[in-house]
Each structure stands twice: as structure tokens, then as C-alpha cells.
Structure 1
């Protein structure tokens, strides 16, 4: 029967079921017995059920250990850390045998007794049975196949007419995802049940107490006696009486007996194994224990299958990212990159449509709203979500203006970019969902003629069309959107870096061009200076020959030597790649070579050189070269009375200072200090911020120039 949404009665409080104290019902089901004892004295202080038939009238106040025939203190001492249910030894009373379970509830001990199975499952048979079905669970290819196998396994274990695997949805409603039933029964497969069918406090008890059985829905509750203990918390008691509303709910479904086993994954209630039987049916404690163990294995397999599906989804998304990211790193603009990769971007997050908006630029692919609507959606997401990715599978419910184009954009994943002010939008089209409910979900509870809250009476298939929704965005897809935004940020940074590198390369190229022009200009200057120096040197040589032997010729030759020193530094200056600095040792060595040529073979054979490498500024090298030239000239003039003799030239570096030493083995004097050469040398030494020491070389003179390697700081 198909229908539109039917409003609920505004006067009906649907939260009454959520507030019902089902954990303290004050009674138990009649298929079991309950003893309540004081934790300290182990004296029985209350009970429920037909205790007189089993223990006689004197059960109240009796010793708990005496009544159940076992040392309760020893059982409590051997209880595992963390508490929980403690299984006692089976108790025999006449021909009857009972399973014994002990629970703690504050300062009270709760002991429940249930009739033991006439043919209990042996430990070996139970383990073999569990192993068989666990192997089948492992071989299931996915969660759906796993649930289908679980329905078959639990029906074989419990023997109920119908077994359903019921999964909770995000809105706390539930859906039957697997079913195994008697062929004579109608199916509930794929049916939805509203959240009100299983109230909030009932879901909490399902996590705490993993199995529950109702052998017959027509039982008469057995109250706790004395009534002053009716407030005892029976959350862990399997024979706890259930809500009268729930019993009417089951009767309305045509169920005679029921059982439920919780599927708890990571501490949360993933779903239930719901068992229904048309006639009364007991589910013994040993079968419930086996069912709980099987449900734990089922939960682990569900987790493994879901994690495998998640892993495959992440692999798919990573592969899609690997195909998209190279497009983002192109040298073109952001909009051009997105234009070239828009189809891949759409398919990466399984969107029916994709759009990029930046200012007035709109790029789209697939099924999208009009450009004006895209701009409105982008502005709305930036207002409501800021710079964080935003996702919804029901856009019209949060942005009412979007209901107009729900057929194109019921689902939205929006990702504002941190760089450039653009927004990426993925759209999913509306998927009209036909939901089959087990009865009208809008009539899940109602009031009877006596104003008593009752569950709905009809469970006939009720179909509802849900509109305005799309496929949901998965957590993995939202995570991929976060990663994609980082990739866009990195691509933007790379694009900016490439632009800056381009500007820098252009600047460097312009600088290189200017340096080349400067180099050509300076080489031209050097060429002219060298020509001028050669002309002056040739003129001095001609004048020396014309003057003949004597003081004038000697002075002209000294001037010629000084001109050679200047010419040499210019040659070194424009031959090196680094014109700002020169290797002083190399420069002085070449300068000494020129002097050997000008002085002749006799002097050249007597001169020795020992120069350590020292980098100095070019202008300082010129001054040092002139000083060395003057010292050598003085030695040739005065040390040996015009004859050739040994001259040693040494260059040393001591941290930030250097020493230039010119030593001879002559008569130990260098002439007067008033000549042109001496005045020029003093000026050079001052410019070097150095000092000159003349010492005895034993025999001869040792002239030592000491100065900083670099120019002295000023200011």
C-alpha cells in the first residue's frame, strides 16, 4: 500500500517509550527464578518466581550458598577481573536441573535459575558448530553476503521460524538486510522499522545484555517479593520481564515467542539478530551463550568486511588523485588546469556533476544547476561552512532555495580553495527512494480507548517515496576532498614559485647582459691602458739608452719596472673570471717573472720565490705589487753594489693578515729614504693600512710588509 506522509497526532508524546524504566520492571518471566541476596552476608533478601515449589517456604532469609548448593563466596573470589555474569555449576533439585547465573547489582547479588536443556550441547559440539559457521563467515565476499549467511546460521542454531539480521541506520531506524524463514511466512526483507520500535534505553540494554529471550508473549509476570525490592536493577538478568508495550507489539506481529542477539561492533550497536516463532519456544542458556559467541564473531567479520570495503574505496580514490594531480601542476592558470581535468575531477568523487567558480568564471561538467544557481550555492557554502569542505545528501533541507533544482543537485560536496578564492562543487542528482516500512512509520505508537500508549497494530508493507535526497558522500570521499584541496594549494604554490623563478631568471639574464657589456667595456679600457703603458715603457727604454750609463738611466729603468708592475696587474685583472679579487701569490709570481726578464739572467738565477695563496681585492693587489717591485729594485741597487746576488721573496698568511718578505744577503742597507721610490712605497703602505719592518738578515736586509688581507672597515 503506497501513501504520502501522514502527520502524527500532535497530542501524542512519542518519547514515552524512551522514558520507560525497562531495566527495573519489578518482575521476571515465569520460565525462570530469581534470588536476590545481600552481597556481604549472602542472605537471600528477595526473590521472584515459584520459589516455594523448589526451596519451600523458608527461602527468604536463607543462605544463598545453601539454597543453590554451592559455595558462592568461592565463586565470587574466582570471578574474572572486570565483573560481568558469573556462571555457577548446574543445580539439581529432584528430577529438575537448573542453569545458574550470578550478577552483581550494587550491594545485591542476583542469581537467576533457568531450566537446563534436557540435551545440552557439549563443549566439543559447540566449538565444532561455531567453527563451521565462522569459516563460512570468513568466506563471505562482503557485508551483505555475510549477513545472509548469518541469518541461516542463527536459524539453524535457534530453530525459530524466522531469523532476521536487522541493521541500524544513521537516524536510528532499522532495516532488515538478511532473512531466513519458513517458506509459509511472508517476508520482511528490506523492510524498514522506525526508531521508535526500539527505544533508546532498549538499545542501551542490547549493548549491556547481548541476548534476550521471550519464550511466550502471553506470560504472566512474576513480581519481586517483598515489593520493597521491586526497584532492583535487572539489566543483566536474562529472565527480566519485558515492557508490556513490547509484548503487545509482538502479538500485533503475530509472534508467539522471540529472541534477540546483539551485534555489537567497536562498542556500538550495529544491529540485531531478531528471531520470531509462531508458537512458544524456549531458548536455553547454553544456546544463548553459543549465539552470543557467534554474534561476536559475526561483529568481527562485519568490521573486517567494512574495513576491506573502506580500503578498496581509498585505493580507488588514491588512484583517481594520481590521475588528477598532474593536471594541476601544469604551467597554465588554475582555471585552465581545471578545464583540462574537469571530467576526471567529477569522476574522482563519483559526482553526477562538477563545477568550479571563481569570480565570474564558471567551469562545469556533467549534470549541474544553472550558472547563477552555482554562484548562489558557492556563496551559501562559504557563508555557512566557511573554508571547510561541506557535504550533504539533502541540500534542499538545509538550503531551501536549492529545492527548485533538486533533480540536479540534491547532493552537494563543496570545497572552498584557500588560494585564489575559487570553490569546487560536486553535485549528485536526486534518487527517489521507495522505502518499504513494516507498517506505517508515522503510526508507530498510538493511544487506545483507555488512553493507554500502545504499539501500532498493522505491519503490512507500507511504501513511502522519499524525495530530495541523493547518494550519501562517504567519509573516504570527504577525506579525499581534504587531500585534493591540499593538492590545489601545493599546485598554487608551485605556480607562484614558477612565476617568481621566471621573473628571477629574467632579472638574472638582464644582469648577465649588463655584465657582458661591462666586461666588453672594461676589456676595451684595458686594451687601451696596455697600449699606453707599452708606449710609455718603450719611451722610457729609449730615454735610458739615450742617456747612457749613469743615475738618469737607472732612474728611467726603475720607472720602467714600476710601469711593468702596473701593466701586469691589469693583465691579471681582465684575464680572471672574478675581477673583484685576485690570487695574490699568482699575481706576485707573474710579476716576479716579468722582473726577472727585465733584470737579466744573472739576477733571475739568484731570485727565489715562496708564495702562499692569498685572496685579496684587486686594488690592494696593485699596491702590494708596487711595494714588492720597489723592494726588489732597492735590493738590486744597494745590496750588492750593482752585482747580482741572492734575493728571496716570501708571502705568508696569518689569520686575517699577510706578510710579504723581501730578503737579500748583501751589505744590509737600502740607501736613503728621501727618494721618489721611498715616498711612493710609504704612500702604498699607508693605503694598505700596513707597516714595514726592516731587520738584519745576517747577512743582508730583511724587509717585512705586514697588512690586513681585507681593507680596513671604516665608519
Structure 2
């Protein structure tokens, strides 16, 4: 049967399978197995055998279909009730032809998939397996780098499996692969350092290599054993975990074209990612026994851990080098100079941060460059192009001509860059540039396998001879550590810029504060001088009034002069408090009124002190408003002494409170008020004017005995309002 007419495991002709896109082929549902083993499919709840694949009648039992799985395999039924994958891996089943099968069970879509694989007689002993693992782990530990681990790994797996050629295959960033380690005999040619396209191992195949860490094909020319019977409805069942799963016909043709009769693939997984594979080829059919496969899985895990350790060591060393280089370059910056000045001055030190051929600092119009870089106009154009992208301030490319087409004209000046955009007030762009490196890549055959034959059928490539490809327009790749270092440098430079901005702002603020302090000192001097002169003037007026009162023979005139002295004392007290206060122009009204009342008591007579009841809440008020409140309080106290008690001392209650947005001053006595209710004396007119200037109200209430005067003014200095006079306002005249 020719390959073009052979029926694939999917029930379609091979020609149709070959035309199917590799990455869409459902290789996990082939509906068939490799014929060297047997497969039973049972219902997971009833354990009844629903179907199978392989020569079950000739190698296991003639009446296998419909039987109970425990009965058919001579196993205790209780073991299937609490099923876990691979729970019967140590069980052994005897066949009709004297064969002994190993047993492995997998769940799939409500079914149990039971694999039966013939056991080879020659088996490794347990102590021998552990001895090999220990020796191999020690060998890997002594390897200096990843390349040596791969070379030693190829030797170890060649000796363990006995295959003709063993290769360590590593996946690249673009999905392609490269042979980085190899050990072989003379049957197969060397493929060391040869590349394979990403399409050779499609996406869904890689997913299966992660799920099944080892995959064997004892004979690529096998006839697939289809799952039967067809009426059981088992078509399309998921065989992802079945090791006997049949292989894609495209892959079998691919292996046959390479001259491979048997193969094995062992996955190398680093941190949950498919790092690469150990690929084993043999020129003749070869079965890899169960014990050898177990040893391969374990050794692949040991090798994967060592690969991770070696890569982490290289990564750590590169990160440490970059960190030290960054700190060395930035530690020489002049703290007093701007970031742009430092960057231009230390351009040569910054160039050595990353291995490159040139470095440039690009400002608005100025360019500072060293080494091999494009022309100034081209650098400015690159800067403008970078600003249009949203790359988080970092751009990296090893094929600049593909990302920025104008760069195709000067690959010998720059074929790859790593750029940092700095969002300063005057933006800056830093560019490290690498020139073109012409690479000659050796492929295992022409990687462009999409060449149809005369019938229009797409076949895997038939030749795997070295096929060279010259790659131009690309520079050396920027590694992950260099990209991270660029991001770190950008953060450092932005922080330095912000620090410099803050330093300049602090200098400006310091100068402003010093100027303000000088102005405050001048103002304090002026306030002292004004207060001194005001106090002298008020003292002179008070002394003059006192002298006039002593010489006056008119009692009414003497009383008026005395009241004038009290009013002047109230104003003088405010000035003294302003001078002593920490906040110029602001007065603690409660303390001011308390001192004012004490001075009034001392002038009215010591007997008043035992009759006063004072409750004042702390209120802060502007000086001019405090003076007016003090004048009103002085007038009310004088009127209480004059009219309520006829010059004698008597009970007097003074309260200062705050209600909402208003200030309430209350003065009440318990005297007898036999006065003219419509009086219009100087004191009354003055209080009306003062209260009006405060936008407040002054009301009187007769208490029988006594009188209560309540002044209400807004706390807000900008409040305005009007009030209507009431007859009670004329009580004191």
C-alpha cells in the first residue's frame, strides 16, 4: 500500500491529512492506537467493556466485548470504585499467547481507557536505575553551562535507550528549534546546530508533550489498530493520556522521510514551559521498555532542573553585571547639574551599559552620539516615530528594518536598537544601537515545506540535508535581562529628574521664605513701633481725661470723662493683645474680654469682683471686630453700674457663646431700671453704630428685676445684614 492511498487513523485518506493544516489536526483524537499494544474502553460506572483496539481476540480473550472489566482482567472489582489514574500500573495481565502485559488506566469522557502493553523480559533492576540516576545527576551538576548539560544529556540518553541517534532539541523564541546536543553512531548523519521550523512540531503537539512527558513509536511503519466496534459510538474519544495513541500520518511520513524506523521523544520542561525535547532515532524498529521509559522520565526531570539552575545562574550574573554597570554610570552624575547635562556628559559610560555599537542622547534638536549610529536626521526621525507608539517608554528590536522601514537603508549603521523615552519637560530619548550581523543558519532540509506535488498534495519535506539560509538586516538579540535593565534605568533617570526639579523648587521656596522672613521682621518692627506710639497716645488721652475729671466741678461731666477713659482702655487692651499674640490681626476674644472685664472692675471698684459671673467660650476674631465687641461690652457694664445699681456693685452675669455661625454676647443684671425708655444719649448712639458695623443685633429684655442685653453678630467677617431697632434698645440712654 502506497503512502498516498493509505488510510489515516482519522478515517480519511493520507492525502487529505497531508493537506490539513498541521496546527489544526486533531492528533489527540486519532480513533486508533499503535498495534504493538492493546486498548480496552469501559464504562466508568458499570465497568462494562464497550470497545477496544488491537488484536484483542488473539492476544487477550475471544469474548472481550461486553464483559466486566475486573472479570476480563482478573482484577478485584473494588479497586475500580475509587479509581485514580495509574492505580493499576504495577498489575500484570497474562495473555493467550503467553504474553505478559502491564496495565495503565486513564479516565476520559466518562470512560475508563485501559492500556495493555507487552512487557520486555530484560528489565533494569531497581538499584541499577537509582545508581544511574545518581551518577547522571552528579554529571549534570558538574557541567559549567547549559550547552554542556545538553551534550552530556545526549550521551546519557544514548547509553540508556540504545538508539542510534539521540539529540537534545531546544525551542527558540520564534517557535523554531535547534539541535544543541547530539550523540550518535555512524548510521545517521549529524544534525548538531541544525535548525527546524516551528511547523515541524505544531501547537497542539507541544501541548501533548507537556501532558505526556515521554512518547514512543516502536515502528513508524505500523498499521494503525482502529477502535471498534464502529456502532459503539466511540469515535472522537480523547486519547491525550494514552501512550499507545496512534501517531499523525503526517508525522509518520516525516519520520520515514528522515530514514527513521523507530523514535522516542522525552520532554524537557522548565518551570511548566516546554524548554525542549530529547529526540531518539533508530534505523530499525525498537521498543523502549516500561522500565527504561520510567528511568528516562526521571532523568529528564533531573536534567530539566539542572537546565533551570544553569540558566538562572547566567541570568543572575547578567542582572548583577547590569545593576553594577547602571549604578556605576549614574553614581558619577553631578547632583547640581540637570539630568540632560549628565546624560550628555557621561554618554561613553552609558554606552558601555549594554553591548552595542553606538549610543545617542536625543533632545529637542540636539543629538549627542558616540560610536556607530545613524545620521542626526535619522536619529531625530526615529525619536519622532518612537513617540507615536505606546510602548511604556521602552522600545526594543533586533530587526529594526521590519519595525521601522526607513532603517532598511542603513543596516550597517543600525539594525537593532533598545530605546528609552524620558517624559521630561524637554523630552529626551536614549538609543543604544547594534549593527547588522549577517547570519548563516543551517536548516535540516528546506524549512519551506509547503511545496505541493503534481497532484496538488502537500507532503512533508523529503530531504533533511543541510540547507543554508543567509539572514540579513538583523542584529544580535537583546535579552530579557537587558530589557529589564533598561526599564530600571528609565525609573532611575525619571526619579533623578524629579529630584532635580524638587531641588530647584526647594531653592526657590527657600529664597521666598527668606524674603518673607525679612518682610515679617520689618512688619514686626513696624507693629512694635505703631503699638508703642498708639499706647503712648492712648495713655496721654486717658491721663488728660483723668486730669479733666479731677478738675471738673460738674458731676455729669466727670462721669462722661470717666466713661471715656474706660472706652480708651478697651481699645488700648486690644492693641496690647495684638502685640503679644502669635497671629497678627487675630485676637482670642474670650481672653481679651476677660482682661477687659478685670480692668473695668479695677476702675469701677474692687467690690465688683465678687458679684461677677463670667462664662466665655474660646472664639477667634479679627482685631477690628474684637475692638467693637469690647466697646459694646464696656458700654453695657458701665450702663449696668450706672443705671441698675446707681454706682454701687451688684450681681452681673456675662456670657460669650457660639451658636451656629453667630456669636452671642449676653450681659444681665438684677437691678432696678427707672430710666427713660426713649433715651438717645451718646452711649446708646455709639452702641447702635458699633453693632450696625458688625452687621449684628442688640436686644433688651426686662427680667423683673433686672435687664438682659443680648448682642448677636455673625462670625463670618464678610457677612452683611441689617437690623431694626426695637423700643428696648432705647432703655439705656
Q: Does the pair score TM above 0.5?
A: yes
Q: Which residue of 2 aligns with 1:70?
A: 74
Note the C-alpha offset of 1:45.
Answer: 6.4
Note the C-alpha offset of 1:375.
Answer: 1.5
Q: Which residue of 2 aligns with 1:691?
A: 698
Q: Which residue of 1 aligns with 2:100?
A: 97
1:162-173 equivalences under 5 Å are 162-173=165-176
Tell me the secondary structure at the aligned position of residue 569 of structure 2.
helix
CA contact (8 A) 2:18 2:459 kept: no
> Within the alignment, does 1:190 sit opposite 2:193 as a pair?
yes
> Within the alignment, does 1:653 sit opposite 2:629 as a pair?
no
Q: Which residue of 2 aligns with 1:5?
A: none
Q: Which residue of 1 aligns with 2:430?
A: 424
Q: Which residue of 2 aligns with 1:586?
A: 591
Of 356, 363, 384 in structure 2, the residue corresponding to residue 358 of structure 1 is 363
1:385-534 equivalences under 5 Å are 389-420=394-425, 421-438=427-444, 453=459, 455-457=461-463, 459=465, 464-479=469-484, 481-482=486-487, 485=490, 525-534=530-539
CA contact (8 A) 1:85 1:103 kept: no
Q: Residue 646 and residue 68 in structure 1: after superposition, are their counterparts in 2 closer, same or farther (change >3 A)?
A: closer
> Within the alignment, does 1:80 sit opposite 2:84 as a pair?
yes
Residue-by-residue CA offset, 1:203-243 (whole Å, 9 max, x unaligned): 455445443334466x5647659997998887666556667
Distance in 2, Cα, partners of 1:449 & 1:669: 130
Residue-by-residue CA offset, 1:35-85 (whole Å, 9 max, x unaligned): 566768966867546x776469x579695969974359777655426x999
CA contact (8 A) 2:608 2:649 kept: no
Distance in 2, Cα, partners of 1:211 & 1:267: 15
Q: Residue 563 and residue 451 in structure 1: after superposition, are their counterparts in 2 closer, same or farther (change >3 A)?
A: closer
Note the C-alpha offset of 1:574.
Answer: 3.9
Q: Residue 602 and residue 478 in structure 1: after superposition, are their counterparts in 2 closer, same or farther (change >3 A)?
A: closer
CA contact (8 A) 2:58 2:96 kept: no
CA contact (8 A) 1:194 1:444 kept: no
Residue-by-residue CA offset, 1:608-648 (whole Å, 9 max, x unaligned): 68563443332232233333444554566667776x75686
Tell me the secondary structure at the aligned position of residue 291 of structure 2.
helix
Distance in 2, Cα, partners of 1:547 & 1:235: 124
Q: Residue 508 and residue 65 in structure 1: after superposition, are their counterparts in 2 closer, same or farther (change >3 A)?
A: closer
1:131-170 equivalences under 5 Å are 133=136, 143-170=146-173
Q: Residue 451 and residue 122 in structure 1: after superposition, are their counterparts in 2 closer, same or farther (change >3 A)?
A: same
Distance in 2, Cα, partners of 1:220 & 1:570: 113
CA contact (8 A) 1:395 1:402 kept: yes
Distance in 2, Cα, partners of 1:154 & 1:95: 31
Count of residue correspondences: 691
Of 117, 120, 125 in structure 2, the residue corresponding to residue 117 of structure 1 is 120
1:240-255 equivalences under 5 Å are none
Residue-by-residue CA offset, 1:382-436 (whole Å, 9 max, x unaligned): 4465766332211123334323432342222234445544433332333444544
1:207-606 equivalences under 5 Å are 207=210, 209-215=212-218, 221=223, 238=243, 257-265=262-270, 268-277=273-282, 281-299=286-304, 302-303=307-308, 306=311, 332-339=337-344, 342=347, 346=351, 351-383=356-388, 389-420=394-425, 421-438=427-444, 453=459, 455-457=461-463, 459=465, 464-479=469-484, 481-482=486-487, 485=490, 525-548=530-553, 550-592=555-597, 595=600
Under a length normalisation based on structure 1, what TM-score does the superposition of the two structures give? Answer: 0.75
CA contact (8 A) 2:357 2:435 kept: yes
Note the C-alpha offset of 1:582.
Answer: 1.5
Q: Which residue of 2 aligns with 1:10?
A: none
Q: Residue 356 and residue 531 in structure 1: after superposition, are their counterparts in 2 closer, same or farther (change >3 A)?
A: same
Q: Residue 691 and residue 705 in structure 1: after superposition, are their counterparts in 2 closer, same or farther (change >3 A)?
A: same
Q: Which residue of 1 aligns with 2:623?
A: 618
CA contact (8 A) 1:137 1:298 kept: yes
Distance in 2, Cα, partners of 1:222 & 1:634: 123
CA contact (8 A) 2:416 2:434 kept: yes
Distance in 1, Cα, partners of 2:87 & 2:431: 51
Distance in 2, Cα, partners of 1:635 & 1:37: 114
Distance in 2, Cα, partners of 1:211 & 1:195: 20
Q: Which runs of 5+ in 1 are unaligned?
A: 1-12
Tell me the secondary structure at the aligned position of residue 665 of structure 2.
strand
Q: Which residue of 1 aligns with 2:9?
A: none
Note the C-alpha offset of 1:91.
Answer: 2.2
Tell me the secondary structure at the aligned position of residue 90 of structure 1.
strand
Q: Residue 653 and residue 605 in structure 1: after superposition, are their counterparts in 2 closer, same or farther (change >3 A)?
A: closer
Q: Which residue of 2 aligns with 1:6?
A: none
Distance in 2, Cα, partners of 1:147 & 1:413: 31
Q: Residue 692 and residue 174 in structure 1: after superposition, are their counterparts in 2 closer, same or farther (change >3 A)?
A: closer
Q: Which residue of 1 aligns with 2:3?
A: none
CA contact (8 A) 1:263 1:270 kept: yes
Residue-by-residue CA offset, 1:94-124 (whole Å, 9 max, x unaligned): 5543334566787998766544221333556
CA contact (8 A) 1:259 1:274 kept: yes
> Within the alignment, does 1:714 sit opposite 2:717 as a pair?
no
Q: Residue 630 and residue 226 in structure 1: after superposition, are their counterparts in 2 closer, same or farther (change >3 A)?
A: closer
Q: Residue 544 and residue 223 in structure 1: after superposition, are their counterparts in 2 closer, same or farther (change >3 A)?
A: closer
Q: Which residue of 1 aligns with 2:10?
A: none
CA contact (8 A) 1:324 1:341 kept: yes
CA contact (8 A) 2:590 2:656 kept: no
Distance in 1, Cα, partners of 2:456 & 2:607: 138
CA contact (8 A) 1:64 1:72 kept: no
Distance in 1, Cα, partners of 2:572 & 2:31: 118
Distance in 1, Cα, partners of 2:227 & 2:693: 117
1:661-700 equivalences under 5 Å are 661=667, 668=672, 675-688=681-694, 689-691=696-698, 693=700
Note the C-alpha offset of 1:167.
Answer: 0.9
C-alpha RMSD of the superposition: 5.2
CA contact (8 A) 2:70 2:77 kept: no
Tell me the secondary structure at the aligned position of residue 625 of structure 1.
helix
Q: Which runs of 5+ in 2 are unaligned?
A: 1-16, 722-733
Q: Residue 292 and residue 605 in structure 1: after superposition, are their counterparts in 2 closer, same or farther (change >3 A)?
A: closer
Note the C-alpha offset of 1:283.
Answer: 1.4
